[in-house]
Structure 1
């Protein structure tokens, strides 16, 4: 006869064991929580949906070939975990994957982890601690249209982004980028939106935006920019319709000249909110 104490302990242990790999599905999504991934034991889910969400904040790594038995998924949500480590074959077998969300984890390094995800259209690596991205990290992603690298620790624009000719939206906001070298985006012929706000950009080299002939929206607000060569910039950005310059280090004389010239070229510069006497177009500036 099992005592009440023994029965209670058995029930608790059973609950803990089952909670380690709890996956449930509705008509469109399979959601797993409190998941423990083990090397050489691929995730196996009966009747899984093509949208897979792994939540709960417990994942710290993705072993190689973890998803090889759920290879038909098209969306993989891994946001808001504690993932520090990916392996070269972490996403092996996911040839149909179109969206991968790794937002709000603890990644510091990005290598060639996505090489088999040739159909990937959206990749979110925002809100991590990424400081290094290898030059070949995005090779083979010939369908990618959206890439989020915002809220990381990048000191330079990664060379890897220039290997993504299909990209339409690139977010590099809230990093530690200080300079924009010449032709750093030269292969991004289809890019339409570029977010560089909230960095430390103080120097923009001539022809920095060379090749961005389809860019429509550019955010440079919240940086340390002192001057922009409008003629050089617009020669490269012939489709530009919006340029955000709020909160930078412009002199009032330079700012007025820049905004006036942009307006004459039909480029909208959003009004700032400064009420300081040292401002133009609502954007703070210095009298020097």
Structure 2
């Protein structure tokens, strides 16, 4: 009788659900079916936990809330047991995420789907919406052109780098007040608009290697790290960084910044610890705050060393906290350094000319 039931279900699966190239797709379906309806299943929790693990994956007994399905040439997302909190599905060939695939596991906290072959049209419309405790979603290195939506408001870490995203709708991150890290580097984004305005908890934003021509607008005041290297930014609005009182790391290398496009006190912000302006078109050293510790200005067009950019007053009590200063790749002769440099930059361990 069991064999007849098994073959009947297998036949149904073959015709209705299993038109896939994935070897284990039908086996995964049968396993979930059998576990759900078999009256002969072992009732012990440990035994059940071992049985409900997808055949394509590993579910270690010593970490029963995680399923490891990475690097297995999968083309689909397998059945996810309800006990799971961590799903590792990266480094596969997954091209689609079927609607409802995570409905059985609404307690998921991490979903790792990076390095797959996902496209927009093959992701279920509400596939992530019911996972109300999801904190990390990695979708980097796929073939996405838009940001999936809706996304749960519980998200803290969203990674979408190395896709083909060009536009970000104003409401793309609506309601995501818990998001602290947003990674969008290596896409085709030309303008971020006001889409980041409501991200009250955001501390890290990576928009490097895109097509931006201006700085992103309406950034949240909690931001600590801002990465904008390898874009086409040529101007910095007046008082831009003063609106970010907690910003510590700013990277703007490999852009088109010139002296004319940078206000005189644009970077004179007390919160900044590291500032990277290398590989731009600056001809002068912009004034920086004395709290800055690492300044990268190499590969610009600077011809003179202006001590006043670091110290307004040079004496025993007034000096710069700079520890690393890179000016190599410019046209500054060593003789251009005034005698007071040693007093102003007394903490510097590295000064490259």
Tell me the TM-score range normalised by the shorter chain: 0.7 to 0.9
Q: Alignment RMSD, CA only?
A: 3.5
How does 1:1-288 map onto structure 2 within 5 Å? 10-12=19-21, 19-21=95-97, 29-32=110-113, 33=116, 34-36=118-120, 41-44=125-128, 47=131, 49-62=134-147, 66-68=149-151, 70-133=152-215, 137-139=217-219, 141-159=220-238, 160-179=240-259, 180-186=262-268, 188-204=269-285, 208-209=286-287, 212-235=289-312, 238-250=320-332, 252=333, 255-258=334-337, 261-265=340-344, 266-268=346-348, 270=350, 272=352, 283=353
TM-score (norm 1): 0.75
Structure 1 spans left out of the alignment, 5+ residues: 273-282, 284-288
Q: Which has the higher contact order (CA 8 A, sep 6+)?
A: 1
Q: Specify which structure has the higher proportion of strand.
A: 1
Deviation of 1:264 (Å): 3.5
Aligned to 1:275: none
Contact 1:96 1:119 in 2 (8 A): yes
Q: 2:284 and 2:351 mapped to 1: Cα distance?
A: 23
For the pair shown, the structure with the greater C-alpha radius of gyration is: 2
Q: Which residue of 1 aligns with 2:53?
A: none
Q: Which runs of 5+ in 2 are unaligned?
A: 1-10, 26-73, 78-94, 314-318
> 1:217 & 1:258 partners in 2: Cα distance?
19
- Matched residues, number: 256
Alpha-carbon distance, 1:55 to partner? 2.8
Q: Distance in 2 between matches of 1:235 and 1:116?
A: 38
Please, what TM-score do these two structures have when normalized by structure 2?
A: 0.62
Contact 2:237–2:263 (CA under 8 A) maintained in structure 1: no
